[in-house]
Structure 1
């Protein structure tokens, strides 16, 4: 599906980013693992290489244009192209509206939205010359339906969906597709630590009556990165168990 294609994944060393990287690698992609944590990124790439995956680690901050340009440069110099970009890096700084600090609003919007913009702009310079590419943004169901205590996060993810559609229109003529995946409630180390009754409350909000997994998101990304999705662009694929329809 993505054999020998070069995939740049941000926030690659843990959680959903890790699962996405593993899914792409499992189908033959070469992985450029980008993360702000150098030790975690190097350790992950060491694991990939031990399994026979062609991979390279890049330490970088997606909010820094120089770091972003460097990650694309490393991908080009190491593997010769940039075929897939997954904008996964993101943060939360939750708080009620009336108590939210300016710096928490700015931090979330900068990482989650500006970071995706910078990465997309840098990768698009390569992809448009190649006349091919897949850009996949990791949004969120709360960007579609809202969530109390997450005004900054919801705004960033809603903005990411708008960015997806705008960039899809601009880049389509160069055979570059731009789509988003919007996860619902996904089982993580944080949700695993919740009491059983709290987990059941979360699941009760979902028609499929269970939380999703990081692999559910990775499989959606894998589809959008493959040739099977060649006529799909500017779309937001909800992977949420029916929580938002």
Structure 2
């Protein structure tokens, strides 16, 4: 059976853990060569040897323009092409609006939204030149419905959805398809930024009755990255969210 991403190069930003790591493993299983970019390369080194030689590790601070440029240059030097970009780098913490500092808000937006812009802006010209490419931005269902104590996170992820649609309009004529995934609550290390009460309350709201697992989100990214599976998806937001958004 033909592997869906055979011969393609995927750059997964924020691929050290959680949803990003699951996407790396899924893409590798489908034949892709994967460049994993993350702020925490030590986390990558703990599990990367489990995969084959078609993986490279690249350090990046997505909120820093120079770091992003150096990372993308490094990936292109190693692999010549980038066929698929997944923007998955993110942080999460719970802070009530009335207690939120400007610094806390800016840090959240800097990583979760500005980072998507910086990486996409650096990779998109390469894809446009080749007249092909897939960009997949990881947002959140909270971008659509909001959440208590998460004004900064919801704002950043809502911005990702708006950015995704704008990018889709501009890049689709060049054969570059941009879409977003807005997962519901997923059992990943990011949940450590939330209180046990927040987690319990959210789980009780879900029609499915449980949080998702990262490996249940990765197939959505694979579909958007694949042909013909993802060929008609342009500016869409797909929601593996346990029924949290209907």
Question: 1:104 maps to what in 2?
Answer: 104
Instruction: Find the aligned partners of 1:103 and 1:19 in 2 and give their Cα distance.
Output: 31
Quick check: 25-34 or 201-210, which moved more? 201-210
Task: Describe how 1:89-128 pairs up with structure 2 within 5 A.
Answer: 89-128=89-128
Deviations 1:159-208 (A, max 9, x none): 0000000000000011000000001011235769x999986653331112
What SS does the corresponding residue of 2:23 show, helix, strand or coil? helix
Task: Describe how 1:1-245 pairs up with structure 2 within 5 A.
Answer: 1-48=4-51, 52-189=52-189, 201-227=201-227, 228-245=229-246
Distance 1:199 1:115, change over 3 A: closer
Structure 1 gap ranges (5+): none
Quick check: 150-159 or 55-64, which moved more? 55-64
What SS does the corresponding residue of 1:154 show, helix, strand or coil? helix
What SS does the corresponding residue of 1:8 show, helix, strand or coil? strand
Distance 1:10 1:195, change over 3 A: closer
Q: Work out whether residues 93 and 105 of structure 1, in 8 Å CA contact, stay in contact via their aligned partners in 2.
A: no
Q: Work out whether residues 136 and 224 of structure 1, in 8 Å CA contact, stay in contact via their aligned partners in 2.
A: yes
Distance 1:195 1:148, change over 3 A: closer
Q: Work out whether residues 28 and 34 of structure 2, in 8 Å CA contact, stay in contact via their aligned partners in 1.
A: yes
Instruction: Find the aligned partners of 2:48 and 2:9 in 1 and give their Cα distance.
Output: 14
Instruction: Find the aligned partners of 1:197 and 1:106 in 2 and give their Cα distance.
Output: 25
What SS does the corresponding residue of 2:26 show, helix, strand or coil? helix
Instruction: Find the aligned partners of 2:219 and 2:234 in 1 and give their Cα distance.
Output: 17
User: TM-score, normalising length from structure 1?
Assistant: 0.92
User: TM-score, normalising length from structure 2?
Assistant: 0.92
Following superposition, the deviation at residue 68 of structure 1 comes to: 1.2
Deviations 1:58-92 (A, max 9, x none): 01101111221122212221112001111000112
Following superposition, the deviation at residue 216 of structure 1 comes to: 1.3
Distance 1:207 1:53, change over 3 A: farther
Q: Work out whether residues 10 and 86 of structure 1, in 8 Å CA contact, stay in contact via their aligned partners in 2.
A: yes
